Amino acid sequence: MMNAVWAFLMLAAILYALATGGEAELLTRTLLQSGEAAIALTLGLTGVIAFWSGLARIAERAGLVTGLGTMLRPLFVLLFPSLRGHSHVLTAVTLNVCATFLGLGNAATPLGLRAMTLLQEINPDKERASDAMCTLLALNTTGLALFPATVVGLRLAAGSAYPTAVVDSAILAGLAATVVGLACDRLLRRRWRN
């Protein structure tokens, strides 16, 4: 998929420029200078991701992820009615969403895949997504996060005077996306059986 998208973007740009008489030299320079720009972006966001991962690691060790999970448990019982009686599966699901929320980048995806594996064990049809899987995906495709480290790093690299200015706007927009995603999942899971 990515192969097709990337090839399409690259070829469309080059062929369009050649067809409309664009400067070959400008395009070549753009290609070569992308490396420098990519390094600047990468360094900026790496610094902030590392900062946040350090804090998130302390939070995890202090039991804040499991604590948040315990606090939000009633909400998850409501969101995943089919996991009644599968307490350990619900725990895995909760931990995944809480780790994502706190920005534990390295831990969140393994936790999510573990939750998917446990969900698959109790899934009657191994090729069809269960209701609980669909809800978990609705939460993860939105990936609501307390602190959007990557984009803050990007803003820092771009010389922003207020790199964290978008922390609250991103949370609000993310919340709206999450609510719509969950509502859509709720409405469609009865109708869209296959």
Partner 1 sequence: MAQLIVLLVCVTIILAGLLRRVAVFDEFVEGAKSGALVGLRLFPYILAMLMAVNLIGASGLLETLVARFGGWVELVGIPREIAPLALLRPLTGSGSLALTGEILRVHGPDSFLGLLASTVQGSTDTTLYVVTVYFGAVGIKRIRHTLFTGLLADLAGLVAAIIVCRLLFGAG
Provide the minimum distance between the beta carbon of 25 and partner 1 in the complex, in angstroms, as a whole number. Answer: 11
> 78 or 194, CB closer to partner 1?
194
Provide the minimum distance between the beta carbon of 71 and partner 1 in the complex, in angstroms, as a whole number. Answer: 14
Provide the minimum distance between the beta carbon of 87 and partner 1 in the complex, in angstroms, as a whole number. Answer: 20
Provide the minimum distance between the beta carbon of 91 and partner 1 in the complex, in angstroms, as a whole number. Answer: 18
**Cα angle at 130 between 126 and 131, to 5 degrees?**
175
> 90 or 129, CB closer to partner 1?
129
Picking from 129, 69, 55, 62, the residue whose alpha carbon sits closest to that of residue 97 is 69
> 77 or 143, CB closer to partner 1?
143
Distance between CA atoms of residues 21 and 11, nearest Å: 15
**Measured between alpha carbons, how far is residue 166 from residues 4, 70, 142, 154, 162 in Å?**
32, 29, 17, 12, 8
Contact 144, 175 (CB under 8 A): yes
- Dihedral of CA atoms 110, 111, 116, 122 in degrees, nearest 10, equals 130
> 91 or 142, CB closer to partner 1?
142
Provide the minimum distance between the beta carbon of 78 and partner 1 in the complex, in angstroms, as a whole number. Answer: 18
> 71 or 158, CB closer to partner 1?
158
Buried-state track 131-149, b at ≥16 Cβ within 10 A, e below 16: bbbebbebbbebbbbbbbb
